[in-house]
Amino acid sequence: MIFGFRSKSKHWKHRQSYWYQLKTYEETDSALLRLFECFMEAAPQLVLQLYIIVSHGIKQNLILGQ
């Protein structure tokens, strides 16, 4: 967040593009961390669901919802 403030500041005008680039990298890193966090929360549930389906066999009424 500090890189965003520095890229807009008149005091850092000579290095504005440098701070903007660092701000972009920081935002990219935080977005990837959020994506990884969501995957780590959802993956165990998906594995459990797949285990239940595979261990009980795939039945026709399970797929069609009858």
3-state secondary structure the chain: CHHHHHHHCCCCHHHHHHHHHHHHHHHHHHHHHHHHHHHHHHHHHHHHHHHHHHHHCCCHHHHHCC
% residues pLDDT > 70 (the chain): 64
Confidence of residue 42 (pLDDT cuts 50, 70, 90): very high
Q: Please determine, for residue 61, whether its predicted confidence score (pLDDT) is greater than 60.
A: no
Residue 41 pLDDT > 60: yes
The structure's pTM equals 0.53
**What's the pLDDT score for residue 13?**
63
d(CA 34, CA 27): 11
